[in-house]
Amino acid sequence: MNIDKHTTTWQAVTQWLQDRRQQCVESLINGSPNDDKLRGEIRVIDDLMADADDRPTREPLPDTDY
């Protein structure tokens, strides 16, 4: 995934994701009838943030025979 993490759009998305994750964690701590849904949402947020942190892998250079 190629995400330019320096854009204002991505910074706004990141802030929203962090805020939403915190809300989900607080709901779990306080007790909620939707614990499984909240855990799933936290997992998706964590996965998205982790994918954005991954560095794209470079394609290997072709072999040369000179």
Cα dist. 33→1, 20, 37 in Å?
34, 18, 9
Residue 58 in domain: no
Structure confidence by residue, pLDDT tens digits, 25-46: 999 999 988 899 999 999 999 9
Residue 41 in domain: yes
Q: Is 24 exposed, middle or buried (0-12, 13-18, 19+ CB in 10 A)?
A: buried
Residue 25 in domain: yes
Residue 27 and residue 41 in contact, taking contact as beta carbons nearer than 8 Å: no
Per-residue pLDDT averaged across 4-11, rounded?
86
pLDDT at 20 over 60: yes
Containing structural domain, residue 23: 8-53
Helix (H, G, I), strand (E, B) or coil at 16: helix
Helix locations, 1-66, DSSP H = 8-30, 35-53
Domain total for the chain?
1
pLDDT at 16 over 60: yes
Please state whether the predicted TM-score (pTM) of the whole model is above 0.85.
Answer: no
Residue 40 in domain: yes
Residue 64 in domain: no
Residue 18 in domain: yes
